[in-house]
Amino acid sequence: MDNDSFASLMRGAKQAAAHARGEKTNVTIHSPVKMLREQLGLSQAAFAEAYHIPVGTLRQWETGRRAPDATARAYLAVIAKDPDAVQKALAAA
């Protein structure tokens, strides 16, 4: 490993440790839930309504205050795989 790669890894490790301690860092954490919603081109309100998820819950997932439980993660995986099928199923219910 060259010196630049090692230095980059060390900076990342220090930033992660500071973030874990609750210190302010310039690290951006990308929420997989937010990435899915943005990939679908939906606002928080539109995503929440389309998939019957309380918008407050969605916001907590996206900000990292809460994490989806196992059932919600499975539901989100199905949405990611075939969002149209999920919407059709919900409309028929």
Query: pLDDT tens digits for 11-56?
Result: 878 887 877 788 877 766 678 999 999 999 999 999 999 999 999 9
Distance, in Å, from the CA atom of 55 to the CA atom of 44, rounded to the nearest integer, reads 7
One domain, residues 23 and 37 = no
Is the predicted pLDDT of residue 62 greater than 80, yes or no? yes
Question: What integer pLDDT is reported at residue 29 of this predicted model?
Answer: 65
Domain that holds residue 11: 1-29
| Residues composing the chain | 93
Nearest to 42 by CA among 91, 86, 1, 83: 83
One domain, residues 16 and 35 = no
Question: What integer pLDDT is reported at residue 12 of this predicted model?
Answer: 79
One domain, residues 46 and 89 = yes
Name the percent of the chain lying above pLDDT 90: 62
For tokens 């929440």, name the residue.
48
Distance, in Å, from the CA atom of 37 to the CA atom of 43, rounded to the nearest integer, reads 7
One domain, residues 22 and 56 = no
Question: What integer pLDDT is reported at residue 28 of this predicted model?
Answer: 65
Question: What integer pLDDT is reported at residue 75 of this predicted model?
Answer: 97
**pTM score over 0.85:** no
